[in-house]
């Protein structure tokens, strides 16, 4: 007889598949991490066997390597290039379409989105913090984004607390990790022989009731707490403060902007992997018969020339101005617009920068807080 | 119901006027009678106009807010979409969504003296203000209009300036960086006009639009002449694609120009305005 009051329990490793089948039984498509082409991507899981097992990831500035150890853990790594953002704020999406009649009349239409309910396994604390910011931007807006909002409402989140941060991680300094504290339906602490599973929502509680949970021992709790403490201690990168707005805007002519611009390729990798970057462009795609057109939005980056184009003039023609725009917005303007910094310390922009630019080093050089 | 969202509605071109070799005006009518009857705007706000199969651009609304049935947009043929719009004629259909952003505080400024400062070709956002005030002349004090252009031949609507100048308690001053003949105005940057403008800084509110360096220089002169920076309002331009504060292109410091602007109190935009790249 399942106990419906259960909020926490130990799920043995060999029972982990039951979590996926319980979610599938409730109509969720399960998405989770899987190793592909030397990277770690989030995609549909056929079963537990699709999860990485005994995989460790070595990350550094401009470097990401999947390595194998002899372990049995599935989540013994920090993160891959992307997690939640592409599932909600999709890289390309139709906004509306228009039909043109023979006499030139235009008929605009849009379809109500009907997304598949999706459960994501292996969400990190940094990604939950980023999700909270994207929710503020796309859902809690004057004009909520229809597609994002529909997908968000059908999302079930299974967080896994981080026990092995990457060399590039600095979530402890932004206050967003390594342990997930809110915004999930379930949170797991991974131990060698299974998981401590705790509910964070009514739906999460209902799901736990379907699983063969055992009481959590004091030793297991202790091991989970030590893993979190260890994950904090392992991080050696940090931002020089949680609110750097005033220091950044006071240093708009700092020579370091020029220094970083000589290395930055203005490629936009950082904005693609950043879980909070939200810029998109709108593009119109006419059908070949010229009778209809589809209006799309697709990811854009403030590192492109087109981003700041106005009537024959580019506001930010060079890399120095684009890098400065990105950083002063991410770590400065966000405080006024969203009540906090736009950086959650996931370190992806460091790992996936082809020339290994480290945001924590650049910020420390430009906006060091006087002690 | 509002049409200030992502989704456009059909509008028909009901008049078209060529103002200069590159500037033209489209008068639009929303074709859905329900949408048309509910549409309201404030001068200084803008619409997103959509050209079939090409794309959208933000265009300031220059018509009178009490006549929302005829939406007037003056456009410069400068890019892919605006060039397509220049080819349209009466009866052609486009898409329209709006109005977006924050307009000029015209009701709040009733009883004040008004100074309009515009430079370059970017005068459309303030032409709506001039028209608005002249139709309600008794509600405002002195009106001073300062217009600067690069070359004297850039000035459109010469006859309107001549007409405005004849109004009571109204002064119109023109400046061109490069003069020509015949040119009724001054030669030099717009700031030379302030020496000739007759206004009481204690009771004047300035509204400006145009190149940002000009706005910055003009605002400095006005503050030197005794205007409170707080009493200077400006209209800004940035790349705008969504117009609802989501696509990020019009990000300016801590605001989105499409939503928090395009009209700002000068001190709210001030310092960054002088910085290239924001």
* Confidence band for A358, pLDDT divided at 50, 70 and 90: very high
* Confidence band for B85, pLDDT divided at 50, 70 and 90: very high
Same domain, A254 and A181: no
B25 sits in which H/E element: strand B23-30
Task: Identify whether the C-beta of residue B146 lies closer than 8 Å to the C-beta of residue B229.
Answer: no
- Whether B246 sits inside 8 A of A333 (CB atoms) is no
**B246: nearest CB among A108, A138, A306:** A138
* Confidence band for B155, pLDDT divided at 50, 70 and 90: confident
Average pLDDT for residues B65-84, to the nearest whole number?
94
The domain total for chain A is 2
Least confident of A257-261, A276-280, B108-112, B178-182: B178-182
Average pLDDT for residues B128-156, to the nearest whole number?
91
By three-state DSSP, how is residue B51 classified?
strand
Q: Best of B3, B6, B237 to disrupt the A interface by mutation (most A CBs within 10 Å)? A: B6
- Classify residue A129 by burial, with Cβ atoms within 10 Å: 0-12, 13-18, 19+: buried
Residues 40-99 of B with CB under 8 A from A: 50, 52-56, 76, 78-79, 82, 91-95
- Whether A311 sits inside 8 A of B79 (CB atoms) is yes
Say whether domain B113-273 belongs to CATH 3.10.450.50: no
Residue at A145 is within a domain: yes
Q: Assess whether pLDDT exceeds 70 at residue A30.
A: yes
Q: Assess whether pLDDT exceeds 50 at residue B87.
A: yes
Q: Best of A92, A111, A284, A313 to disrupt the B interface by mutation (most B CBs within 10 Å)? A: A284
Q: Assess whether pLDDT exceeds 50 at residue A3.
A: no
User: Using one digit for the tens of pLDDT, what is the confidence trace for A129-149?
Assistant: 999 999 999 999 999 999 999
* Confidence band for A254, pLDDT divided at 50, 70 and 90: very high
Same domain, A256 and A140: no
Tokens at A363, concatenated: 């910020």
What pLDDT is recorded for position B81?
96
* Confidence band for A4, pLDDT divided at 50, 70 and 90: very low
Residue at A54 is within a domain: yes
Same domain, A152 and A21: yes
d(CA B154, CA B258): 27
d(CA A168, CA A239): 12
Q: Assess whether pLDDT exceeds 60 at residue B168.
A: yes
Using CA coordinates, name the residue in chain A closest to B9.
A108
Same domain, A309 and A207: no
Tokens at A175, concatenated: 């206050």
Residue at A2 is within a domain: no
What pLDDT is recorded for position A251?
96
Task: Identify whether the C-beta of residue B177 lies closer than 8 Å to the C-beta of residue B202.
Answer: no
Average per-residue pLDDT in chain B?
92
Chain B residues with beta carbon closer than 8 angstroms to that of A300: 247-249
**A281: nearest CB among B76, B91, B247:** B247
User: Using one digit for the tens of pLDDT, what is the confidence trace for B209-265?
Assistant: 988 888 999 999 999 999 999 999 999 999 999 999 999 999 999 999 999 999 999
User: Using one digit for the tens of pLDDT, what is the confidence trace for A173-212?
Assistant: 999 999 999 999 999 999 999 999 999 999 999 999 999 9
B267 to A85, A248, B228, B230: CA distances (angstroms): 36, 19, 10, 6
- Whether A321 sits inside 8 A of B277 (CB atoms) is yes
Using CA coordinates, name the residue in chain A closest to B6.
A95
Chain B residues with beta carbon closer than 8 angstroms to that of A93: none
d(CA A284, CA A73): 46
Domain ranges across chain B: 9-100, 113-273
B157 sits in which H/E element: none
Residue at A1 is within a domain: no
Task: Identify whether the C-beta of residue B68 lies closer than 8 Å to the C-beta of residue B40.
Answer: yes
Same domain, A54 and A177: yes
Q: Assess whether pLDDT exceeds 50 at residue B35.
A: yes
What pLDDT is recorded for position A101?
97
d(CA A18, CA A20): 5
Same domain, A134 and A210: yes
Q: Assess whether pLDDT exceeds 70 at residue A1.
A: no
Residue at A315 is within a domain: yes
More confident residue, A6 or A241: A241
Boundary-marking domain end, from A233, A256, A291 = A233
What pLDDT is recorded for position A2?
43
- Residue from A12, A48, A8, A45 nearest A207 by CA: A8
Q: Assess whether pLDDT exceeds 80 at residue A45.
A: yes
Average pLDDT for residues A152-172, to the nearest whole number?
97
Please give the CATH topology (third level) of the domain spanning B9-100. Elongation Factor Tu (Ef-tu); domain 3 (2.40.30)
How many beta carbons lie within 10 A of that of residue B182, not counting itself?
A: 6
Using CA coordinates, name the residue in chain A closest to B90.
A104
Residue at A45 is within a domain: yes
Least confident of A38-52, B91-105, B174-188: B174-188
The distance of A253 to chain B (nearest Cα, Å) reads 9
Task: Identify whether the C-beta of residue B231 lies closer than 8 Å to the C-beta of residue B205.
Answer: yes
Chain B residues with beta carbon closer than 8 angstroms to that of A106: 10, 52, 93-95
- Residue from A120, A166, A86 nearest A349 by CA: A166
What pLDDT is recorded for position B179?
83
- Whether A280 sits inside 8 A of B241 (CB atoms) is yes
Same domain, A249 and A229: no
- The C-alpha angle B36, B37, B41, rounded to 5 degrees, equals 75
Using CA coordinates, name the residue in chain B closest to A325.
B278
By three-state DSSP, how is residue B60 classified?
strand
Residue at A3 is within a domain: no
Same domain, A143 and A223: yes
Q: By the CB < 8 Å criterion, does A68 face chain B?
A: no
Residue at A239 is within a domain: no
Residues 121-180 of A with CB under 8 A from B: 137-138, 141-143, 145-146
What pLDDT is recorded for position B122?
56
Using CA coordinates, name the residue in chain A closest to B121.
A311
Same domain, A186 and A288: no
Q: What is the 8-class DSSP label of residue B101? A: S
Average per-residue pLDDT in chain A?
95
- Whether A308 sits inside 8 A of B239 (CB atoms) is yes
pTM: 0.94
CA B69 to chain centre: 19
d(CA B86, CA A284): 19
What pLDDT is recorded for position A195?
98
* Confidence band for B2, pLDDT divided at 50, 70 and 90: low
Same domain, A346 and A249: yes
d(CA B125, CA B147): 13
* Confidence band for A62, pLDDT divided at 50, 70 and 90: very high
- Whether A104 sits inside 8 A of B91 (CB atoms) is yes
Using CA coordinates, name the residue in chain A closest to B95.
A106
Task: Identify whether the C-beta of residue A168 lies closer than 8 Å to the C-beta of residue A350.
Answer: yes
Residues 234-263 of A with CB under 8 A from B: 249, 252
Average pLDDT for residues A317-331, to the nearest whole number?
98
Q: What is the 8-class DSSP label of residue B269? A: H
Boundary-marking domain end, from A233, A258, A290 = A233
- Helix ranges (H only) for B136-274 are 158-165, 212-224, 257-260, 266-273
**Residue A81 belongs to what domain range?**
8-233
What pLDDT is recorded for position A247?
96
The interaxial angle of helices A319-328 and A359-367, nearest 10 deg, is: 90
Using CA coordinates, name the residue in chain B closest to A137.
B246
Average pLDDT for residues A281-300, to the nearest whole number?
97
Q: Assess whether pLDDT exceeds 80 at residue A287.
A: yes
Tokens at B159, concatenated: 């006859």
Interface predicted TM-score of the whole assembly (ipTM), two decimals: 0.92
- Whether B8 sits inside 8 A of A96 (CB atoms) is yes
Boundary-marking domain end, from A189, A211, A233 = A233
User: Using one digit for the tens of pLDDT, what is the confidence trace for A213-253?
Assistant: 999 999 999 999 999 999 999 999 999 999 999 999 999 99
């Amino acid at each position: 007889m399942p106990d419906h009051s259960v909020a926490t329990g130990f799920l043995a490793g060999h029972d982990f598949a039951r979590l996926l089948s319980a979610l599938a039984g409730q109509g969720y498509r399960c998405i989770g991490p899987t190793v592909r082409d030397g990277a770690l991507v989030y995609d549909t899981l056929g079963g537990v066997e699709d999860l990485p097992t005994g995989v460790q990831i070595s990350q550094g500035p401009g470097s990401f390597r999947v390595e194998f150890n002899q372990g049995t853990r599935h989540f013994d790594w920090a993160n891959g290039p992307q997690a939640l953002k592409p599932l909600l704020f999709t890289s390309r999406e139709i906004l509306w379409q228009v039909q043109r009649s023979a006499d030139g009349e235009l008929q605009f239409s849009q379809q109500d989105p009907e997304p598949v309910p999706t459960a994501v396994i292996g969400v990190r604390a940094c990604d939950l913090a980023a999700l909270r910011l994207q929710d503020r931007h796309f859902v809690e807006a004057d004009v909520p984004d229809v597609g994002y909002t529909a997908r968000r409402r059908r999302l079930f989140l299974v967080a896994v607390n981080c026990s092995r941060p990457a060399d590039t991680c600095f979530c402890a300094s932004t206050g967003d990790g390594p342990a997930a504290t809110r915004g999930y339906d379930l949170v797991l602490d991974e131990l060698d022989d299974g998981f401590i599973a705790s509910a964070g929502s009514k739906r999460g509680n209902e799901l736990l009731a379907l699983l063969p949970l055992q009481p959590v021992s004091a030793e297991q709790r202790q091991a989970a707490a030590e893993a979190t403490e260890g994950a904090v201690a392992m991080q050696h990168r940090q931002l020089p403060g949680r609110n750097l707005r005033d220091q950044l805007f006071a240093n708009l002519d700092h020579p370091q902007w020029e220094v970083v611009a000589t290395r930055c390729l203005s490629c936009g990798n950082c904005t693609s992997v950043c879980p909070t970057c939200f810029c998109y462009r709108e593009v119109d795609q006419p059908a070949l018969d010229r009778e209809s057109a589809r209006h799309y939005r697709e990811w854009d980056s403030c590192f492109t020339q087109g981003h700041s184009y106005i009537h024959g003039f580019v506001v930010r023609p060079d890399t120095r101005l684009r890098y400065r725009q990105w950083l002063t917005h991410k770590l400065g303007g966000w405080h006024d617009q969203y009540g906090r910094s736009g950086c959650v310390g996931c370190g992806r922009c460091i790992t996936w920068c082809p020339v290994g630019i480290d945001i924590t080093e650049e910020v420390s050089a430009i906006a060091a807080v006087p002690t | 119901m509002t049409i200030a969202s992502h989704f456009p509605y059909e509008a028909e071109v009901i008049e078209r006027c060529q103002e200069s070799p590159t500037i033209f005006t489209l008068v639009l009518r929303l074709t859905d009678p329900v949408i048309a009857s509910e549409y309201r705007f404030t001068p200084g706000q803008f619409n997103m106009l959509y050209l079939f199969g090409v794309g959208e651009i933000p265009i300031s609304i220059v018509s009178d807010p009490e006549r929302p049935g005829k939406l007037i947009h003056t456009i410069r043929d400068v890019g892919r979409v605006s060039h397509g719009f220049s080819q349209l004629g009466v009866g052609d259909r486009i898409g329209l969504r709006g109005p977006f952003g924050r307009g000029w505080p015209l009701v709040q400024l009733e009883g004040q003296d008004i100074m309009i400062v515009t430079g370059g070709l970017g005068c459309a956002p303030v032409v709506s203000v001039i028209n608005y005030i002249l139709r309600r002349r008794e509600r405002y004090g002195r009106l001073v209009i300062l217009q600067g252009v690069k070359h004297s031949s850039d000035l459109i609507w010469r006859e309107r300036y001549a007409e405005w100048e004849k109004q009571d308690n109204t002064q119109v001053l023109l400046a061109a960086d490069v003069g020509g003949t015949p040119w009724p105005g001054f030669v030099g940057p717009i700031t030379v006009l302030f020496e000739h403008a007759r206004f009481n800084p204690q009771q004047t509110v300035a509204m400006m639009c145009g190149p940002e360096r000009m706005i910055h220089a003009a605002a400095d002169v006005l503050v030197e002449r005794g205007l409170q920076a707080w009493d200077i309002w400006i209209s800004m331009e940035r790349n705008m694609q969504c117009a609802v504060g989501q696509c990020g292109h019009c990000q300016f410091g801590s605001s989105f120009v499409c939503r928090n602007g395009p009209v700002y109190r000068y001190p709210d935009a001030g310092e960054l305005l002088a910085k290239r790249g924001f």
